[in-house]
Amino acid sequence: MHPMLNIAVKAARRAGQIINRASMDVGHLKVSVKQQSDFVTEVDRAAEAVIIDTLREAYPQHSILAEESGATAGSKGESDYQWIIDPLDGTTNFIHGFPQYAVSIGLAHKGVISHGVVYDPTSNELFTASKGAGAFLNEKRIRVSSRAKLAEALIGTGFPYRMFDHADAYLAIFKDMMKKTAGIRRPGAASLDLAYVAAGRLDGFWEFGLSPWDMAAGTLLITEAGGLVGDLAGETDYMATGNIIGGNPKIFSQLLQIIAPHKTAKLAA
């Protein structure tokens, strides 16, 4: 395993321990509302702190972009390396004791994601990938599914829950998907949804309005597992727009076709 990936795994496992300990007593969590339907707990913050400490100890010069503390330059200023961190992806699930949440850590080098970890502390499933070296689940190689027919495909998504500008376009797409696929799931942690596409548990995924920390690690998992990710035009702008489609290559192109007619001025690529 590449040393940088190894450090990311160490950081993710440490955060996972904090999350697991706290999950035993979610009734006493202190929850703050960042904005409508956007929650943060002391667990998100503690998990982020331990991740940043672990990464900084090994790579003090690297820059960091983390959900709760924002962007920080490295010890020598902005670096070509940037760690992109979601310390607890799926906070709403976590608060409810609904066991679908994860730690997500990606490393971008000159803007290209080169390593990624998604760790599910509940199931102890560790998804890892390094650019050009494949994707793994608990050290076993994973690949996207080979399912080609949309009618047989299981598709993951995330519902709009805060910004409702795209709600109508989203629901129109949802209706089409509902008719044309074998089923749709909304598990509630985007990084894990992407990891599930990489592992072939989902054949495809779409969501609008995500943040870089939701996607950084998961997108590398998918491409390293032989899948495709893109924005609504099938291009590479998803980290900037937050609008993402992923899947095995055959399902990916069919998802693009379903979504294309629903693109609106607001719902840009």
What is the contact surface with Ca ion in residues (CB under 5 A)?
Answer: 67, 86, 88-89, 214
Residue 52 interacting entry, from ligand IPD, Ca ion, none, C-beta within 5 to 8 Å by type: none
Please report, as residue ranges, which positions from 138 to 177 form the binding site for ligand IPD (by CB under 6 A): 158
116 near ligand IPD (CB under 6 A):
no
Stretch that binds ligand IPD, among 20-28, 57-65, 69-77, 88-96 (CB under 6 A): 88-96
- Least Å from the CB of residue 48 to Ca ion: 9
Closest CA to 195 of 155, 174, 225: 225
State how far the Cα of 40 lies from the Cα of 33, in Å rounded to an integer.
Answer: 6
Residue 231 interacting entry, from ligand IPD, Ca ion, none, C-beta within 5 to 8 Å by type: none
Choice from 16, 116, 156, 188 touching ligand IPD (CB under 6 A): 188
224 near ligand IPD (CB under 6 A):
no
- Least Å from the CB of residue 251 to Ca ion: 24
Considering the complex, state which of residue 160 and residue 234 has its C-beta at the smaller distance from Ca ion: 160
231 near ligand IPD (CB under 6 A):
no
214 near ligand IPD (CB under 6 A):
yes
Stretch that binds ligand IPD, among 50-58, 87-95, 114-122, 195-203 (CB under 6 A): 87-95
**HSE-up of residue 216 (Cα within 13 Å, Cβ side):** 29
- Least Å from the CB of residue 133 to Ca ion: 25
Considering the complex, state which of residue 76 and residue 162 has its C-beta at the smaller distance from ligand IPD: 162
Please report, as residue ranges, which positions from 118 to 137 form the binding site for ligand IPD (by CB under 6 A): none
90 near ligand IPD (CB under 6 A):
yes
DSSP string spanning the chain? --HHHHHHHHHHHHHHHHHHHHHTTGGG--EEEEETTEEEEHHHHHHHHHHHHHHHHH-TTSEEEETTTEEE-BBTBS-SEEEEEEEEE-HHHHHTT-S--EEEEEEEETTEEEEEEEEETTTTEEEEEETTS-EEETTEEE-------GGG-EEEE----S--TTHHHHHHHHHHHHHHSSEEE--S-HHHHHHHHHTTSSSEEEESS--HHHHHHHHHHHHHTT-EEE-TTSSSTHHHH--EEEESHHHHHHHHHHHGGG--SSS--
State how far the Cα of 193 lies from the Cα of 164, in Å rounded to an integer.
Answer: 21
190 near ligand IPD (CB under 6 A):
yes
210 near ligand IPD (CB under 6 A):
yes
Binding site for ligand IPD (CB under 6 A): 86, 89-92, 158, 188-190, 207, 210, 214
